[in-house]
């Protein structure tokens, strides 16, 4: 009987300890934002995977004027904006950026750099002292110049090692994200 009682107590202790741990982890992540821009959905899907692993809030950066759904027209629009270093107006805004310390920032590689709505986003908020973690979907050019472009626009932020994903990332996406999150110290080893 005594053995049974101590076994039950041990089980109760184990489950309450894991409950407390899970909730502590959740609270720790309240300071994280996963913000992304995506044209054809790959970055959006990567953002959702990251968000499902780290928690916090997720936010889509959307320009007021949507890019053409035609690939070649979009290529031209994006090239023109990059050459002009345009700052397209944004339709969506983060209500209270002060509550976030860590911002995952996702975008497709466009012309070997960031799409210009990312520049508009970075200039809209005071991100000094915050940590930015870039992630990018690409068609072969990996991160291109995108991380240095972000560093130039946010010189007062700490920038952690970025993740580049080939198009959708395929079947290994979730695992690749998990390995990267551990490497940069966001989740435990």
The site for ligand FMN (CB under 6 A) is made up of: 38-43, 74-75, 78, 108-112, 137-141, 144, 167
Provide, rounded to whole angstroms, the least separation between the CB of residue 37 and ligand FMN: 8
Least distance from ligand FMN to the Cβ atom of residue 58, Å: 14
In terms of CB distance, is 75 or 97 closer to ligand FMN?
A: 75
Nearest CB to ligand FMN, comparing residues 113 and 130: 113
> What whole-number distance in Å separates Cα of residue 173 and Cα of residue 45?
10
The answer for residues whose C-beta is within 8 angstroms of residue 157's C-beta and 6 or more apart is: 127, 128, 129, 130, 131, 132
Give 25 or 73: the residue with its C-beta nearer to ligand FMN: 73
Nearer of residues 31 and 111 to ligand FMN, judged by Cβ: 111
Min CB(126)–ligand FMN separation in Å: 27
Instruction: Name the burial class of residue 45, with classes exposed (0-12), middle (13-18) and buried (19+) by CB atoms within 10 angstroms of its CB.
Output: middle
By CB atoms closer than 10 A (0-12, 13-18, 19+), residue 69 is exposed
Q: Least distance (Å) from ligand FMN to the CB of residue 35?
A: 13
């Amino acid at each position: 009987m005594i053995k049974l009682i101590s076994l039950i107590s041990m089980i109760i202790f184990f489950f309450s300890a894991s409950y407390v741990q899970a909730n502590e982890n959740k609270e720790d992540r309240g300071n994280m934002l996963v913000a992304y821009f995506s044209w054809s959905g790959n970055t959006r899907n990567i953002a959702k995977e990251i968000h499902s692993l780290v928690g916090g809030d997720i936010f889509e950066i959307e320009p007021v004027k949507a890019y053409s759904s035609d690939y070649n027209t979009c290529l031209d629009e994006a090239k023109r904006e990059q050459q002009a270093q345009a700052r397209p107006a944004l339709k969506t805004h983060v209500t209270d950026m002060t509550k976030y310390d860590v911002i995952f920032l996702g975008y497709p590689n466009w012309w070997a750099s960031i799409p210009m709505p990312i520049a508009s986003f970075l200039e809209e908020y005071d991100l000094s002292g915050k940590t930015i973690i870039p992630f990018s979907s690409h068609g072969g050019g990996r991160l291109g110049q995108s991380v240095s472009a972000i560093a130039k626009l946010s010189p007062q932020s700490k920038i952690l090692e970025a993740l580049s994903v080939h198009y959708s990332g395929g079947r290994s996406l979730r695992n690749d994200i998990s390995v990267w999150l551990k490497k940069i110290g966001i989740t435990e080893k």
